[in-house]
Amino acid sequence: MHEDVLKIQQLIARFANSFDVKAWDELQTCFTESIYTDYSDLRGTPPETISAGEYVRLRREALDHLKLHHLVSNFEIDFIDPDTATCRASMVVWRKSEAEDFVTHCVYVFQTVHANETWKISEIIQKVLWSEGTPSIHKGVKN
Protein backbone atom coordinates (compact mmCIF):
# COMPACT_ATOMS: atom_id res chain seq x y z
CA MET A 1 0.00 0.00 0.00
CA HIS A 2 2.87 2.40 0.81
CA GLU A 3 4.18 1.98 -2.74
CA ASP A 4 0.76 2.91 -4.13
CA VAL A 5 0.65 6.05 -1.99
CA LEU A 6 3.95 7.16 -3.51
CA LYS A 7 2.76 6.34 -7.05
CA ILE A 8 -0.41 8.42 -6.55
CA GLN A 9 1.62 11.35 -5.20
CA GLN A 10 3.91 11.08 -8.24
CA LEU A 11 0.88 11.01 -10.54
CA ILE A 12 -0.55 14.20 -9.04
CA ALA A 13 2.89 15.87 -9.19
CA ARG A 14 3.22 14.88 -12.88
CA PHE A 15 -0.26 16.32 -13.51
CA ALA A 16 0.78 19.67 -11.97
CA ASN A 17 4.27 19.81 -13.49
CA SER A 18 3.00 18.97 -16.99
CA PHE A 19 1.12 22.27 -17.07
CA ASP A 20 4.19 24.23 -16.00
CA VAL A 21 6.54 22.83 -18.65
CA LYS A 22 3.76 22.67 -21.27
CA ALA A 23 4.17 18.89 -21.62
CA TRP A 24 0.67 18.43 -22.98
CA ASP A 25 1.24 14.86 -24.24
CA GLU A 26 2.59 13.92 -20.81
CA LEU A 27 -0.43 15.51 -19.17
CA GLN A 28 -2.71 13.28 -21.20
CA THR A 29 -0.93 10.16 -19.85
CA CYS A 30 -2.18 11.09 -16.36
CA PHE A 31 -5.81 10.28 -17.21
CA THR A 32 -8.20 7.47 -17.89
CA GLU A 33 -9.82 7.62 -21.33
CA SER A 34 -12.60 9.89 -20.06
CA ILE A 35 -12.61 12.01 -16.92
CA TYR A 36 -15.22 13.66 -14.76
CA THR A 37 -14.28 17.28 -14.05
CA ASP A 38 -15.78 19.90 -11.77
CA TYR A 39 -14.19 23.34 -12.09
CA SER A 40 -17.46 25.15 -11.31
CA ASP A 41 -15.86 27.23 -8.52
CA LEU A 42 -13.35 28.73 -10.98
CA ARG A 43 -15.26 28.71 -14.25
CA GLY A 44 -18.92 28.91 -13.30
CA THR A 45 -19.66 25.97 -15.60
CA PRO A 46 -21.37 22.72 -14.59
CA PRO A 47 -19.38 19.53 -14.00
CA GLU A 48 -18.85 17.35 -17.07
CA THR A 49 -17.34 14.12 -18.28
CA ILE A 50 -15.00 14.60 -21.24
CA SER A 51 -12.30 12.65 -23.02
CA ALA A 52 -8.75 13.01 -21.80
CA GLY A 53 -7.80 14.39 -25.21
CA GLU A 54 -10.47 17.09 -25.03
CA TYR A 55 -9.44 18.00 -21.47
CA VAL A 56 -5.84 18.52 -22.59
CA ARG A 57 -6.88 20.44 -25.74
CA LEU A 58 -9.01 22.85 -23.71
CA ARG A 59 -6.26 23.45 -21.12
CA ARG A 60 -3.65 23.98 -23.81
CA GLU A 61 -5.91 26.48 -25.59
CA ALA A 62 -6.64 28.40 -22.38
CA LEU A 63 -3.15 28.34 -20.84
CA ASP A 64 -0.43 27.89 -23.47
CA HIS A 65 0.16 31.65 -23.77
CA LEU A 66 0.84 32.02 -20.02
CA LYS A 67 3.73 31.22 -17.72
CA LEU A 68 2.43 28.70 -15.17
CA HIS A 69 3.48 27.32 -11.81
CA HIS A 70 1.48 24.73 -9.88
CA LEU A 71 2.61 23.85 -6.34
CA VAL A 72 0.88 20.83 -4.83
CA SER A 73 1.13 19.45 -1.29
CA ASN A 74 -0.83 18.20 1.74
CA PHE A 75 -1.70 14.87 0.11
CA GLU A 76 -4.45 12.90 1.86
CA ILE A 77 -4.92 9.55 0.15
CA ASP A 78 -7.77 7.21 1.05
CA PHE A 79 -8.10 3.79 -0.57
CA ILE A 80 -11.65 2.77 -1.40
CA ASP A 81 -10.37 -0.63 -2.53
CA PRO A 82 -6.97 -1.87 -3.81
CA ASP A 83 -7.59 -0.33 -7.26
CA THR A 84 -9.39 2.92 -6.36
CA ALA A 85 -8.21 5.83 -4.24
CA THR A 86 -9.20 9.40 -3.53
CA CYS A 87 -6.45 11.99 -3.16
CA ARG A 88 -7.18 15.38 -1.64
CA ALA A 89 -4.37 17.88 -2.14
CA SER A 90 -3.78 21.60 -1.70
CA MET A 91 -2.58 23.54 -4.72
CA VAL A 92 -1.54 27.08 -5.56
CA VAL A 93 -1.71 27.88 -9.27
CA TRP A 94 0.17 30.91 -10.62
CA ARG A 95 -0.65 32.15 -14.12
CA LYS A 96 1.38 35.03 -15.51
CA SER A 97 1.12 37.04 -18.71
CA GLU A 98 3.64 39.70 -19.68
CA ALA A 99 1.87 42.35 -17.59
CA GLU A 100 -0.51 40.62 -15.17
CA ASP A 101 -0.97 37.56 -13.03
CA PHE A 102 -3.79 35.47 -11.65
CA VAL A 103 -3.27 33.17 -8.65
CA THR A 104 -5.70 30.56 -7.36
CA HIS A 105 -5.43 28.89 -3.96
CA CYS A 106 -7.45 25.70 -4.01
CA VAL A 107 -8.04 22.16 -2.85
CA TYR A 108 -8.30 19.41 -5.43
CA VAL A 109 -9.99 16.05 -4.99
CA PHE A 110 -8.71 13.48 -7.46
CA GLN A 111 -10.27 10.08 -7.96
CA THR A 112 -7.58 7.66 -9.11
CA VAL A 113 -7.80 4.14 -10.47
CA HIS A 114 -5.18 1.43 -10.81
CA ALA A 115 -5.11 -0.47 -14.09
CA ASN A 116 -2.37 -2.10 -16.16
CA GLU A 117 0.27 -1.53 -13.46
CA THR A 118 -0.27 2.23 -13.34
CA TRP A 119 -2.43 4.78 -11.54
CA LYS A 120 -4.56 7.22 -13.56
CA ILE A 121 -6.82 10.17 -12.71
CA SER A 122 -10.50 9.51 -13.46
CA GLU A 123 -12.05 12.53 -11.66
CA ILE A 124 -10.94 16.06 -10.81
CA ILE A 125 -12.83 18.38 -8.50
CA GLN A 126 -11.38 21.80 -7.76
CA LYS A 127 -12.60 23.83 -4.78
CA VAL A 128 -11.33 27.40 -4.86
CA LEU A 129 -10.39 28.88 -1.50
CA TRP A 130 -9.60 32.29 -3.00
CA SER A 131 -8.07 33.90 -6.06
CA GLU A 132 -6.18 37.12 -6.58
CA GLY A 133 -5.08 39.09 -9.61
CA THR A 134 -6.57 39.44 -13.08
CA PRO A 135 -8.78 36.46 -14.00
CA SER A 136 -9.22 37.65 -17.61
CA ILE A 137 -5.69 36.47 -18.53
CA HIS A 138 -6.98 32.87 -18.18
CA LYS A 139 -9.34 32.12 -21.06
CA GLY A 140 -11.21 29.49 -19.04
CA VAL A 141 -12.20 31.60 -16.02
CA LYS A 142 -15.52 33.27 -15.36
CA ASN A 143 -15.08 37.02 -15.12
CATH number at residue 57: 3.10.450.50
Q: Which of 49, 43, 88 is nearest to 63 (CA)?
A: 43
Establish if 91 belongs to a structural domain. yes
**pLDDT one-digit tens code per residue, 17-64:** 999 999 999 999 999 999 999 999 988 889 999 999 999 999 999 999
Parent domain of 110: 2-137
Q: Is residue 99 situated within a structural domain? A: yes
Report the percentage of the chain scoring pLDDT > 70.
Answer: 97
Any domain includes 19: yes
